[in-house]
Amino acid sequence: MRVPDAQRREVEQRIRAAAAALLADSIPPGGHCDITTLARQAGVSRATLYRSYPHLKQQFEQQIAQAAAGGQHPDPRDAQIAALKARNDRLQQRLDAAQSATTELLEFQQLALSRLAAQHQEIVPPGRRQRPGLRPRQPRHQTPLNRTRGHPRAPLKGNP
């Protein structure tokens, strides 16, 4: 069935007006700056837009792409998505830098520990070296708290 020219021009005008409104940040609640919202705002079905007015659909998509390339985002959610992607990229760069610094610090720690161990081997004479896993003995000092058998009320050694 053929659509009369007057009706076709009127539908084209509604589609162009809806496209201009969407591109001018006049997005209805629950809508996006996309073909579905364009068809809804123009009062036509998406199928009609795709089949009968593909040149208007393509023109609308090109205008959206040009606006995005120019730094404008007709849909505020697109702007928010672009900002979040940029933030994500910056955070990823910071994370990569932090991981690199951590790796360098761990390598430095290993180097420092190996140098300390080598210096310790040079400083401590062979007879004084301890076996691994044993704690060094602590010297015992004779104080009033150090009584025979460790009992606090026991008399001090040498006192009756």
The alpha carbon of 133 is separated from its chain's Cα centroid by a whole number of angstroms, namely 43
Burial-class residue 109 by CB neighbours within 10 Å (0-12, 13-18, 19+). exposed
Say if residues 49 and 42 touch (Cβ distance below 8 Å): yes
Highest mean pLDDT among 21-25, 54-58, 134-138: 54-58
Measured from the Cβ of residue 49, the count of other Cβ atoms closer than 10 Å reads 20
pLDDT of 125 strictly over 70:
yes
Highest mean pLDDT among 26-30, 50-54, 65-69, 156-160: 50-54
Looking at residue 16, its amino acid is: R
Min mean pLDDT across 3-17, 39-53, 63-77, 121-135 is at 121-135
Residue 149 has what pLDDT?
53
Q: Rounded to whole angstroms, how far apart are CA atoms 14 and 44?
A: 9
pLDDT of 160 strictly over 60:
no
Position with higher pLDDT, 72 vs 23: 23
Q: Rounded to whole angstroms, how far apart are CA atoms 27 and 25?
A: 6
Q: Rounded to whole angstroms, how far apart are CA atoms 60 and 63?
A: 5
First-residue to last-residue Cα distance in the chain: 128
pLDDT of 144 strictly over 60:
no
Nearest CA to 41 out of 60, 61, 59, 27 is that of 27
